[in-house]
Structure 1
Amino acid sequence: MIPYGRQEITEDDIAAVVATLKSDFLTQGPAIPRFERALADYCGATHAVAVCNATAALHMACEALGLGPGDRLWTSPNTFVASANCGLYCGATVDFVDIDPRSYNMSVSALAARLEAAEAAGTLPKIVIPVHFAGQSCDMQAIHALGQRYGFRIIEDASHAVGGTYLDSRVGSCRYSDITVFSFHPVKIITTGEGGMALTNDPALAARMERFRSHGITRDPALMDGEADGPWYYQQVELGHNLRITDLQAALGCSQLDRLDDYIARRHAIRERYDAALASLPVITPFQSPEGRSALHLYPIQIDPARTDKGRREVFEALRATGIGVNVHYIPVHTQPWYRGLGFAPGDFPQAERYYAHAISLPMFPTLTEAQQAEVIAALGSALA
C-alpha cells in the first residue's frame, strides 16, 4: 500500500530521541523551549507554546483570547472537526463561512458578506479561524483587514502549513493574526508523533497559553494572591488543562525541523510531476496561489464530472484496490451528525459540499519515489479509463 501520507524517521531523529532518553528530563525539560524557540525563529514569530496536539493548541488559543459562552467563532467547513470543536469547548456558538471554489480556503467575499449581515444583526464573531487547507495560506491580508474593520480576533489554523509562505512572510509569523497553530501529526510536514504549537507575537497571549497548558498554575509572584510560602510555592490562578508535550517529542521535532525546507522542496517536485502527468486526465488539480508557497501537506484532486462519468467513489475504490492509499479531505464539518444537531444541514455551504463530492487526496509525502508516483498516476489513469 502506498499511503496518502507518511512520516520519515532518520538516524538523526532516533539519535535525538535516544539522547533525550538518556538525559535528566523526559518532560518539562530543556528540549521543549529549544523546539519552541527554533520554530518561532524559523517562522519569524516572537513566542511559541508547544502542546500535546494541534486540537489542544486551538482550544488553548481560544481560551487565551477569552472566547466563552455568548461569543461566536467562525471557521471553514472544509477542515477537520477540531477547527470548529475548539469553539464548542469554550461554550461559544460556532458557524462557518463557505470556501472559495479555486483555493478551497475560506472565501474572503463570503466572509465579507456574512460580516456585513452579522453587523446589522448584532451577531458578529469574536474569533475567526481561517484554515490553510492542504498547506496553502488563506488570503490573510484581506481577512486581517476585515478583522480590523469588524473587531474580531484571528487564529490561523495552519495545521497543514508549517514551512509554507504568504506574501513576504512565513506562515506562522502572525503578521496578520493573533495566533497561529501548527500540527505535528505523523502525516503532517514534520512530526513529533503527536504534538502541536501555538505561535504569537503578543507576550500576554503567550503567557496565558503557557499557564493554560499546565493547569492554570503560575510561580510568578506578580500573579499570586498574597505572599509565597517559599521557593517551592505555586498557585492555580485560572482553570487550565494538562496539555504538555514531552521532551522526547520536542527532541524529535527539533531534529525534523532541520529538514523542513528540504521536505517542502521535495513536495513541490512531486506536485510538479503530478500537475504535468494529470493535465490530460478528467481531473481538477489543486490551484497554487502566486501570493505564497504552499507547504503541500495534501495533493487533493477533484474528479471532473464535466469530463467523465466516473464517480468519486468508483475511482476511490479502484485506487484502493490496486494498493494506492488515497483518502478524502474533508467531509464538510456542518454535515456531521453533531453539527446537524446544532441546526446545520446539507446545502448550507454549497461550495464546500461541491468540492467534497468530487475530492480525492493522492499520495503526497517526501519519501514518495518517482516509481511509486508513476504507479499512482497509472492507477488513476486506469480508474478513469
Structure 2
Amino acid sequence: MWTERYPRRPMRRLVALVIVGLFALPAAAHAIALSTMKASWDKRERRMGSHAGAYVADLGTGRVLYSRNADKTLAPASNEKLLTTATALVRLGQDTTLDTIVRPAPDAVLQPDGTLAGDLIVVGAGDPSLDDVAMRDLVAQLRRAGIRRVTGAIVADESLFDNRRGSYDSGFGYDSDLGGELGALTWGHGRFDSRGPAFYAASRLRYFLKLGKVRVSSKVSVSPTATLDTPTLAIHQSPTIAELVSITNHPSDNFYAETLLKLLGARAGTGGSTAKGIVAAQEALRQLGVKAEMVDGSGLSRVDRVSPHQIVRLLAAMAGRGEGEAFRASLAAPGEWGTLEHRMTRTAARDHCRAKTGTLIGVSALSGYCFDLAGHTIVFSLLENGVCAVCVKKLEDQMVPMLARYEG
C-alpha cells in the first residue's frame, strides 16, 4: 500500500527517448514484479543499516513503489547538487548565458592610432567556465574594435560576488575540494595566485593581449567598477545555464556548483554570496514543493540535510517542467562520461537510467530517473549515512537496474 500519489505528468519532449529506450532493452533484462523488487530492495536496505533511506515512485501511474526511512533527513553528499542545479535552471533560465564584458575606464580615450589611453576593465559575470578560448575570443573582439595598445592597467572587476573563496566547511576560505577559488571573475577553474583569482584572470587576459599583438603595460589590478557606464568593447558569452548544469552534474564538479549557488543570490539582487544564494535556492525549492536544509551548493558539508522523499519530490517536480529535459540530461548515465562511467554498465540501467551520485567518507547517495518496461518514468532516491561508501555502492548498483526491469 502506498502513502502518496504523484500527478501523471510525462516529461516533456522525452517521448521519443522513452520509445528508443524501450526498444534498446537488452535481452537479459527480463521483467521483475513489484513484490520481487520490493523484497530484494528490503534485503539490501537492511544491510545498509538504520541511517539509510530510499524512496521510489512511478510518475506514469502516480504510485509509490518503495519507501523505507523515506522522511529521514540525511547528509546527501553530492546529491546536494540536484538542489543547486534544479534551482539554477528554474531561477536563472536554461537558455541564459553569462556575459563577461571588457570595456574602457570612464576617463580612457581611444585614439585614432588604436591606443587606448587609460585602463581596460574586464567585468566578471560569475562564469565558471572561462578559459583560454574565452580569452582569445575577447582579444579578437578588442582587435576588431581597433585596439592596438593599452597605456593603463588591466582592471579586474569581481564585484558581482563577495570575496569568500571557499565553501561552508572551509570557513569560506580556500578549499582544496573545489579545485580552485570562487569568484565572479575566474579563469581555469578558479586558478589563483597570492592576489586572488580575479587578478589571475586579468593577468591571463593581459598575456593573451600580448600574444594578439596588442601592446600593454605591466599593470594589473582588481577594483569594483560595476556602476560605471562605459561602452562595451568585447563580450564573451558562457555556455547556457543548461550546459553549465550538465558540466556540474556529470562529473560532480564542486567548483561549478558553488559558483552557481552564488550566482543565484546575485541574480536575485540580494548579493552574490553563498548565504544569499541559499535564500534564493530555498525560495525556488518551496515553489517546487521541496524541503531541505542547505549550507552549501556542492554537498561537501555534512551539515546539509534532505530526505529521500524530498529528493524524489524534486525529481518529480522537475520532470513536469520545461527545464525537465535539460535537468535529466545533466545527470550521469552508466557507461557514459561522468560519475557512472564504470558503474552498472552491463545491466538494464544502461541507456535507461540517469542519476546523480554522492560520496563522502561514510556517506553514499544515488538519485535519479529510470524508464521501466512500461515506458513509465521512475524517480528514485537512495541516501546512506554511517556506512562503508564503497560497499553500499555495490548494493546501489544491484538495486537501481531492477527499476529498468520493473514491468509496471
Same fold (TM over 0.5): no
Q: TM-score, normalised by structure 2?
A: 0.26
Q: TM-score, normalised by structure 1?
A: 0.27
**Highest CA radius of gyration, 1 or 2?**
2
